[in-house]
Structure 1
Amino acid sequence: MEKFQFQGNNLLNKSRVIQAEAALMYDSVQVFAVGLRTLEQSHALRPMNISCELEHPWDGGLSLINYINTVDRKGISGPIGFKEGRRIQFKLDLLKLRQQSLVKVGEWRPGSGVNITDKSAFFEAGTTNVTLVVITILETPYVMLRSKGNFSGNDRYEGFCIDLLKEIAHMVGFAYRIELVPDGKYGVYDYETGEWNGIVRQLMDKKADLAVGSMTINYARESVIDFTKPFMNLGISILFKVPTSHPARLFSFMNPLAIEIWLYVLAAYILVSVTMFVVARFSPYEWNNPHPCHSQNTEIVENQFSLANSFWFTIGTLMQQGSDLNPKATSTRIVSGVWWFFTLIIISSYTANLAAFLTVERMITPIENAEDLASQTDISYGTLESGSTMTFFRDSMIETYKKMWRFMENKKPSVFVPTYEEGIKRVLQGNYAFLMESTMLDYIVQRDCNLTQIGGLLDSKGYGIATPMGSPWRDKISLAILELQEKGEIQILYDKWWKSPSDTCMRNDKDKGSKANALGVDNIGGIFVVLLCGLTFAVLIAIFEFCYNSKRNVPVERRMMISTSNIKTVQALNSSIICH
């Protein structure tokens, strides 16, 4: 044992310190001795020479192994027992190295794995002499420069990630110094040069200890750097300009029916009116004596359904106002019944659709989802250059996203933007959709009422704090993030930076889907135009009828005047003759 005692007090001083190698060697010899003694008790040991050239195994070897597997005793390294050749019923202590000594914080067993008994040992409150270099990138609202006041050092920055970093540094126990990434990029792999850029490059070169920001966890980055547990879940979504409202027209009351339906209704009105006239002419039951009280005029009959009356009867029923004309024959009643059923369906459908068209504002939305975006070329779309969203479309195997990537890659001028601000500016200019991460999109939409989200999420991923490969700070920060999530601290920070009442815009269409809008002149003003036009047309027809009737009665009046004058002349002649 002293041979394996490389450091510490030796056994002669009775320090009771034994190296693991010595303890395991001692226990293994003890187990072998017990197995060999048991074998000797049951079988006669017959030692024999073993040849290295010939494969002749020892006959007692298999029995010796079986006896060793049955050993059950307590050794220096703990309880000794075997199952199928593997040791069981032992444990390993999990130790944490502190400044003063080693402290046991948990155990490991073959069946149950790691069991942490002292979780508080992973968090040492207060700051130490360790100062970590934290690299980041300016991105609203994650990391921003203070707009007011003269600040220096870490105080120059504010935002969601800055507040999160303060909490984690206090819990884990380190000081930090914030620096900005030189090229202003998150990091993407260039297949042509075979190199990474941005934050990923800085971490790979060990120029920074941590990277805090809207850093997306993906497979490519995870293969060269380490990430903590995600502190925020998100996905890719589409930012688009709020669609313009449907312009109110003077004749909006005609929108419930398509133009071809209006033409079909007009054609049906003419067809039914003519059919009623013809059927009434053929049916003998529609011919009646106009003077039933005069029996001598039984040969004179008339039909109430003249061509004008037929059109009047049809339009009266279409307007649901009725008419003083009533069909008497079975054939005309059938035509009337079919027409009444037709008008019932048309008027009911028109009334129901009119309420939807005039009380709910309809928006013109050229795209509804990513499939609509990929199937057209009029609206350009792009994403952030050298970001995870760009990598997602470049490496995606989904046909829709591959089609979108080909469009973005070949579009000239380029649809990729260097910053989120540039992408938002292009969206506000119109005819451009920006593919970005949903958390950033949510922040922008709540502050600009001219922007909106189109469709749902295209994928699912998370933001994490990045570290160089093998960094000892990753697990500590991960545990701190999990604790902050359980306490709700991260949600509080999210509400602070995303849903601040002083920054969010007030949308007028918040309850548009559940509340009807008041109708104005722009919606139903056409009804008044139709009324005025009808009244004007009626006055013109009345003037025309008066002039026509007057012109037609002039010859009759002249004949009556001539007749009257002749009678007076004859009377005058008669008077003169009598006088003579």
Structure 2
Amino acid sequence: MLIFGLPIALWTLLCLMPAGPANAETLQVAVIELEGFCMRDLHGKWVGLMPDLVRELGKELHFQPNFTLVADGRYGAYDEKNDTWSGLIGEVYHNRADFAAALLTITALREKHVDFSYEFMDTGLTVVVRRPRWKNQVSRSITFFLGVFDAGVWCASFVIFALTGFFLFLNDRYNPREFRARQAEHSARDTSVSHALLAQMNDFSLFGSLYYTISTGCFQGYRRSPKSLVGRCLSAFWWLFVCAFAASYTAAFLCALVASRGGLERQFGIEDIPELNPVGTDAFKGATPVWFPNSNTHRFFKNSQDPVMQMFYRQYMAGLNKNSKLANVNTVEALLELVKTDDRYFAVMESTMADFYSRYSGCEVIAAATLISDNSYAFAFPLGSKKLRDVNKVLLTLRESGFINKMYRKYFLMDHGPCWQSVPPAETVAMSLAGEEMARMFRSSLPLTLHSFSGPVLFYFASLLLSAAAALADVYIFTRYERYKQGNQPLQNTAEQPERAEQLPEPEASFGALRFSDDQQQLSP
């Protein structure tokens, strides 16, 4: 009896045990292949967010999922004439699948034909655009550096340069203090009076004065410098003007470089569009939105009363009339390929897909703006399905426990995307917008006009008055000194002094005369 009773007891125990995967019910689960959400690995196994979530439901509800790929690759489009559905909704509606596990948004039209589970993930509509690329539209001419200042500034600067050289020439010829100081300097180096006077004239001839004005800013500039008070005042005020000119030119030249910088081929907004009025969406007016035709997104834009959404719908219909190929964009790959190849188009898709493809598309697309954020994803079941209640309980448990968020981070937020280490797209667009705004501001301030540069010009002409006062001081000091000298020393025989007009030879009217003072020591007395 013991031998026959043991097998019976074991059989009874096995019958009382809960059903395992081997004898679990098999459910047909309709899916759509979408990278990150539902895809096959190298061994043909279904992996992704949806398969993991469905398998977890199977563990709790004791069923074995059999994933079947929808034939047309669509989520669901309603045919009003035939009262039929295509895509995932059609598989459930026609009872070819026990339920559909995909990124299905809940809408009133779909709820009339299928039952939805509790939401397992929140989503919204996001604008996806091609990452802005730099277009170098700069074509600087050979006279680009002259465009920093307008003609008035250049003319005023040249006039000031010429006046400085001319006044230094007059100072050397007619200021007795300058003449006497330079004569003493040359006489100390040359015993010949005629050679000393000739070198003195050539030091600050008209050309020599202009050369001194140009070269004194160099480390190896003109060797001579004015000795009188008025000459030194002219030199000091001239170089104060030069410093202001150089600083203004440097700043304006940098502004010109920034103002002529290359720009982004298209700059889309990065703010939430519902908070903007239609006027605030100018960046989207020149482009055509694209989404899946006859989809839930299409019906949303068609029925929306929001002015911005109506603008998008009109742009889409206008683009559809111009390009009939938009009606054949039925997959995410085709949608993104259109956006990548032409910046005149931007895609409108769910935010979860936008997050994924903005990270894993080779940094070619970015999520630029959020349209709405009040949609949710759920599983679709046939009307009156008995499994819906149990699935809802498990979905709530998985969502509250954080299992769904964990799976989402596993496939979408892990630190292995090619764009992970790059600057976030929103910050990239924001920085480029700031740079373009700065360039626009600089363009409005260029070229620098004479009115803007009037400060240094007026300062220089005011300094001429001070130089005139210094000239009077030079004459007064020289006169008082000569009177004092004549009052304390006996008069010399002026007949022995050669007349200045007779002794001074005619200077050579060329820049070659500038080298005369350097070679004067080679002349024989």
Superposition pairs of residues 247-396 of structure 1, within 5 angstroms: 262-264=147-149, 267-278=152-163, 288-289=175-176, 290-293=178-181, 313=213, 340-341=243-244, 343-348=246-251, 364-369=264-269, 371-372=281-282, 374-377=284-287, 380-396=288-304
- Mapped pair 1:137 → 2:42: no
- Give the match's secondary structure for 2:376: strand
Counterpart among 314, 326, 330 of residue 406 in structure 1: 314
- Residue identity matched to 2:390: K
Residues 1:415 and 2:315 are matched in the alignment: no
1:397 to 305, 324, 333: 305
Are the aligned partners of 2:301 and 2:310 in contact in 1 as well (CA < 8 Å)?
Answer: yes
Per-residue displacement from partner, 1:265-322 (whole Å, max 9, x unpaired)?
675233223145348868988963452245999xx999979689669858987x9999
Matched, 1:236 2:130: no
Kept in 2, the 8 Å contact 1:449–1:507? The answer is no
> Which of the residues 435, 456, 459 maps onto 2:369?
456
Q: Tell me the CA shift for residue 161 of structure 1.
A: 0.2
Q: Distance in 2 between matches of 1:437 and 1:310?
A: 73
Higher relative contact order (CA 8 A, sep 6+): 2
Q: Which moved more, 1:233-242 or 1:279-288?
A: 279-288
SS at match of 1:486: helix
Q: Structure 2: how far apart are the matches of 1:316 and 1:549?
A: 18
Q: C-alpha displacement at 1:202, in angstroms? A: 3.7
Q: CA deviation at 1:493?
A: 1.7
Q: Of residues 392, 396, 405 in structure 2, which corresponds to 1:491? A: 405
**Deviation, structure 1 residue 135:** 2.1
Amino acid corresponding to residue 247 of structure 2 in structure 1? L
Secondary structure of 1:138's match? coil
Change (3 A) 1:239 1:476: same
Paired with 1:220 and 1:307, the residues of 2 have a C-alpha distance of: 92
State how many pairs are aligned: 377
Q: 1:481 aligns with which of 387, 391, 395?
A: 395
CA distance in 1, matches of 2:109, 2:131: 35
Extract unaligned runs of 5+ from structure 1: 1-123, 150-155, 515-546, 554-580
1:141–1:160 CA contact under 8 A, matched in 2: yes
What is the identity, as a one-letter code, of the residue corresponding to 1:445?
S
1:215 is paired with a residue whose SS is strand
* Larger of the two Rg values belongs to structure: 1
Secondary structure of 1:459 counterpart: strand
Find the aligned partners of 1:193 and 1:306 in 2 and give their Cα distance: 100
Q: Could you tell me the TM-score, scaled by structure 2's length?
A: 0.56
Contact (CA 8 Å) 2:165, 2:209: kept in 1 or not? no
Residue correspondence of structure 1 range 207-226 to structure 2 within 5 A: 207-226=96-115
Instruction: Measure the CA separation in 1 of the matches of 2:209 and 2:424.
Output: 50
- TM superposition shift of 1:350: 5.3
Contact 1:272/1:314 (<8 A) preserved: no
Cα displacement (A) at 1:475: 4.1
Higher share of residues assigned helix: 2
The alpha-carbon distance between structure 1 residues 500 and 307, as it changes in their structure 2 partners (threshold 3 A), is: same
The change in CA–CA distance for 1:363 and 1:413 in structure 2 (over 3 A counts) is same
Q: Secondary structure at the match of 1:479?
A: helix
User: SS in structure 2 opposite 1:226?
Assistant: strand
Following superposition, the deviation at residue 213 of structure 1 comes to 0.7
Supply the distance in 2 between the matched residues of 1:402 and 1:320 (Cα, whole angstroms). Answer: 69
Alpha-carbon spacing, 1:192–1:279, altered in 2? closer, same or farther (3 Å)? farther
Distance, in Å, in 1 between the alignment partners of 2:219 and 2:307 is: 56
Secondary structure, counterpart of 1:455 in structure 2: strand
Take 1:223 and 1:505, find their aligned partners in 2: how far apart are those partners? 42
Contact 1:133 1:209 in 2 (8 A): yes
Q: 1-side partners of 2:144 and 2:247: how far apart?
A: 19
Letter in 2 for 1:139: L
Is the Cα–Cα contact under 8 Å of residues 293 and 330 in structure 2 kept in the other structure? yes
What residue is the counterpart of 1:564 in the other structure? none
